[in-house]
């Protein structure tokens, strides 16, 4: 059971910013976990986990991709992505092949079964949208704000690491 923290009263001292209910990271994490629960139910009929669904979304959109590019789209390293692809391959949805031009490069392809699964997955985004209680405009605005937040945090991390300032 999830317990919602009690909001801080208006005009509280700065120390109250250390309250759990004041943390954006907690709100984002709680929303992510709630999404995960909804996706788990919706994706059960497709035989996919949420991370597998994300892989399939990228392949449905882009077709064949080098595994490295797939990982970049998903913001996943190869240690996380390889087991996902292995399970999708075992399920007959994806095929991995070494590139003929560069044997170091592995490409991920949809199988016919993987491509056909796209039709069954078309209802998932609508059902997710309905579960949020937001209209399509609100969802679009929220996604845009989250994308801006992600970009800002990526920049902050790069700057902290000295990548954005030229110092190393």
Alpha carbon distance 20, 32 (integer Å) = 16
Percent of the chain surpassing pLDDT 70: 89
Give residue 15's pLDDT. 78
Residue 168 predicted with pLDDT over 70: no
Quick: pLDDT tens for 67-94.
999 999 999 998 999 999 999 999 999 9
Read off the pLDDT of each residue in 109-116 and give the average, rounded to a whole number.
Answer: 98
Single out the residue of 40, 63, 67 nearest to residue 115, CA to CA: 63
pLDDT confidence of residue 124: 95
Per-residue pLDDT at 76: 95
- Which one, of 150, 136, 145, 70, lies nearest residue 108 by Cα? 70
pLDDT at 123: 93
Mean pLDDT over all residues of the chain?
90
Domain 30-121 adopts which CATH fold? Arc Repressor Mutant, subunit A (1.10.10)
Residue 165 pLDDT grade (very low, low, confident, very high; cuts 50, 70, 90): low
Q: Torsion angle of alpha carbons 14, 20, 22, 24, nearest 10°?
A: 130
* Domain boundaries of the chain, sorted by first residue: 30-121, 134-161
Cα diameter, the chain: 65
What are the helix and strand counts (H, E) for the chain? 7, 3
């Amino acid at each position: 059971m999830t317990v919602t923290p009690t909001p801080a009263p208006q005009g509280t001292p700065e120390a109250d910013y250390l309250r759990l209910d004041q943390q954006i990271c907690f709100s984002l994490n709680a929303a992510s976990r709630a999404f995960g629960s909804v996706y788990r139910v919706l994706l059960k009929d497709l035989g996919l986990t949420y991370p597998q669904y994300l892989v399939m979304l990228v392949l449905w959109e882009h077709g064949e991709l080098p595994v490295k590019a797939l990982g970049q789209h998903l913001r996943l390293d190869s240690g996380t992505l390889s087991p996902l692809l292995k399970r999708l391959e075992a399920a007959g949805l994806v095929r991995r092949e070494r590139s003929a031009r560069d044997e170091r490069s592995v490409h991920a392809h949809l199988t016919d079964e993987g491509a056909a699964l796209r039709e069954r997955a078309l209802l998932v985004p609508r059902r997710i949208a309905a579960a949020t209680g937001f209209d399509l405009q609100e969802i679009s605005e929220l996604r845009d704000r989250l994308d801006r937040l992600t970009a800002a945090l990526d920049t902050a991390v790069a700057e902290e690491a000295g990548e954005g300032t030229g110092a190393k």
